[in-house]
Amino acid sequence: MQIIETYKKMLFSLVPSNLEKQLSEKPGSMTDALKNYALGGVLFSVFYFIYGIISQVFLSIISPLYAANLTSSILNIGLFSVLAPFLFIVINFVFTGIIYIIAKVLGGQGTFTEQFYHFSIINSGYHVATSPLSIIPLLGGLWGMAVGLYYQYPTYLIYKSVHKLSKAKAIILVAIPLVVLFILLIIAVTLLATSIAALTSVMGARR
């Protein structure tokens, strides 16, 4: 089936030699990129829905609180599963636009469509590689993190090839989202620690 072949292409695009061959060929259109992201989003949604249902049913068995909210939880999971492919497209479109602008500032020569298209393949390839295992607690998360770290190398190859950038500038483009994510994580942890300390202080004062 053609859809199976498409998923295989996405998965194997994560292999550097395959990606380099892909980058040397004429890129697809914006429509092709949107289809790729939609396929990646659908795959993610299917396994997210399966994992969500299994986890909610399990929790409802061991906790009356979860049992009372089982129906609404399943509906929320179903709603997100339906919206996920559309969210994938919107989020990646915006993200690609931001990085594209930075790439241009650094002297990038590629087009938005080229960048968006190539990322639509490896991004969906990431979900082909990780979604099936996502339903396995702990193992799925660890595997996702490992593939996510490896994913930075194909990302580097795309920036370097599409925009004809030096190694240093391509690495900068890869690093920017990671640095922003790290800063946001520090802020989140700080806010959480502050909230816990404040709550502990209030509870201690009431004793």
- pTM score, two decimals? 0.84
Residue 122 has pLDDT above 80, yes or no: yes
**Rounded to the nearest 10 degrees, what angle do helices 16-24 and 152-162 cross at?**
20
Task: Dig out the tokens for 115 from the structure.
Answer: 């960048």
The pLDDT tens digits for 141-190 are 899 999 999 999 999 999 999 999 999 999 999 999 899 889 999 998 88
Better-scored residue on pLDDT, 27 or 64: 27
Each residue of 55-108: pLDDT tens digit? 888 877 877 776 667 778 888 888 999 999 999 899 999 999 999 999 999 999
* Residue 184 CA: distances (Å) to CA of 62, 101, 148, 180, 191: 34, 21, 18, 6, 10
Separation CA 168–CA 159 (nearest Å): 11
Q: How many CB atoms lie under 10 A from the CB of residue 134?
A: 18
Contacts with 114 (C-beta within 8 Å, 6 or more apart), sequence order: 27, 162
Q: Who wins on pLDDT, 63 or 125?
A: 125
